[in-house]
């Protein structure tokens, strides 16, 4: 909670400073509601949620004095209402050996780091994890995954840069099955510049995995960088089409004023939100909790 609270401090302070400025000893009238709606939209909460919050206030409190605490309480309640149905833990099916997790997302959004943090969590829970360096385009991504693998004690299946990612994923799944691993986590390349290539490559990875296990991948996680604000909405759209995303991880919620974007994404796509990233360290991945998140951004 303390990490979440401090991580979201910038999102929260941009919201609450705006709210306090509007509602210091003022009546709730058309002008204050308009100003409030602007603050909410600027915090990336999305037009629908912003309008619902102002509508709730208009209905209940119009022409009455209202304190900023009361406005923040309405904000927290509405945000929690939007998020709660989508706060779903990532479940690993213990009957799958392995449960295959494909991790997709634009380069730089935190795929490799999230894989490292997630493997640490799964390893701590007693699961045997194998990693696959499926971003074969960037030598640095392969090196990074090896470092994470070493840190958490998970073997990393990798090939030289430029190798065929689908072939590598196929071999990794075979090895994970042979070894009776609980979880195989596959990193992927996220070059959004060429959507056709991205689609072809992810499609091929999924196809070859299914040759060994028709249900694989069992989870397709999309990492989204909170600092990119509205761009994250497009990324959900694109990767949803290309890779059949089953759940989201929102990274870099620490140090951004744009954490509200998670609310807009939940409202629009209704996908499970599994985790949030609140730092670069191994312990900086938190299961997503709607009430905590709402409280942390409403200040």
**Window 100-139: contact mask with ligand GDP (x via CB under 6 A):** -----x-xxxxxxx--------------------------
Q: Are the C-beta atoms of 123 and 129 separated by less than 8 Å?
A: yes
- CA end-to-end span of the chain, whole Å? 13
CB 40: neighbour CB atoms within 10 A? 26
CA distance 287 to 161: 33
**Alpha-carbon distance 147 to 133, whole Å?**
11
Q: How many residues bind ligand GDP (CB under 6 A)?
A: 21
Q: Does 259 bind ligand GDP (CB under 6 A)?
A: no
- Identify which of residues 18 and 190 has a Cβ nearer to ligand GDP in the complex: 190
Residue closer to ligand GDP (CB basis): 78 or 284 = 284
258 near ligand GDP (CB under 6 A): no
Q: Least separation, in Å, of the C-beta of 90 and ligand GDP?
A: 16
Q: Of 37 and 254, which has the nearer Cβ to ligand GDP?
A: 254
List, as residue ranges, the binding site.
Answer: 105-112, 187-191, 251-254
Give the span between the Cα atoms of 203 and 230, in whole angstroms.
26
Residue 155 engages ligand GDP in binding (rule: CB under 6 A): no
Segment 196-201 long-range contacts (CB within 8 Å, at least 24 positions apart): 198/242, 199/241, 199/242, 201/165, 201/166
Q: Minimum distance from CB of 146 to ligand GDP (Å)?
A: 13
Give me the residue whose beta carbon is nearest to ligand GDP. Answer: 277
**Is the distance from CB of 267 to CB of 46 less than 8 angstroms?**
yes
**Does 279 sit near ligand GDP (CB under 6 A)?**
yes
68, 182, 284, 289: which one contacts ligand GDP (CB under 6 A)?
284
Contact pattern from residue 199 through residue 238 relative to ligand GDP, giving x for each residue in contact according to CB under 6 A and a dash for the rest:
------------------------x---------------
Give the shortest CB-152-to-ligand GDP separation in angstroms: 14
Shortest Cβ 216–ligand GDP spacing (Å): 21
Binding site for ligand GDP (CB under 6 A): 105, 107-113, 141, 144, 190, 223, 251-252, 254-255, 277-280, 284
């Amino acid at each position: 909670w303390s990490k979440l609270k401090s991580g979201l401090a910038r999102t929260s302070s941009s919201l609450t400073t705006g709210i306090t400025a509007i509602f210091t000893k003022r009546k709730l009238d058309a002008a204050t509601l308009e100003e409030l709606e602007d603050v909410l939209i600027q915090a990336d909460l999305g037009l629908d949620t912003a309008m619902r919050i102002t509508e709730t206030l208009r209905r209940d409190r119009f022409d009455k004095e209202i304190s900023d605490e009361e406005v923040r309480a309405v904000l927290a309640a509405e945000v929690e209402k939007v998020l709660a149905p989508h706060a779903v833990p990532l479940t690993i099916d213990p009957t799958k050996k392995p449960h295959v997790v494909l991790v997709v997302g634009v380069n730089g959004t935190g795929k490799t780091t999230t894989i490292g943090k997630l493997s640490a969590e799964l390893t701590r829970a007693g699961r045997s994890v194998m990693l696959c360096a499926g971003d074969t385009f960037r030598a640095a991504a392969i090196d990074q995954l090896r470092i994470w693998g070493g840190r958490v004690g998970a073997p990393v299946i990798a090939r030289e840069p430029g190798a065929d990612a689908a072939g590598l994923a196929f071999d990794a799944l075979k090895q994970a099955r042979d070894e009776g691993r609980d979880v195989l986590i596959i990193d992927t390349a996220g070059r959004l510049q060429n959507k056709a290539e991205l689609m072809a490559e992810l499609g091929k990875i999924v196809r070859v995995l299914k040759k060994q296990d028709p249900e694989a991948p069992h989870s397709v996680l999309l990492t989204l960088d909170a600092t990119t604000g509205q761009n994250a909405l497009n990324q959900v759209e694109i990767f949803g089409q290309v890779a059949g995303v089953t759940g989201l991880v929102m990274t870099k919620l620490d140090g951004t004023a744009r954490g509200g974007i998670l609310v807009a994404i939940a409202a629009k796509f209704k996908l499970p939100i599994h985790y949030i990233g609140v730092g670069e360290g191994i312990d900086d991945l938190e299961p997503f909790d709607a009430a905590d998140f709402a409280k942390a951004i409403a200040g």
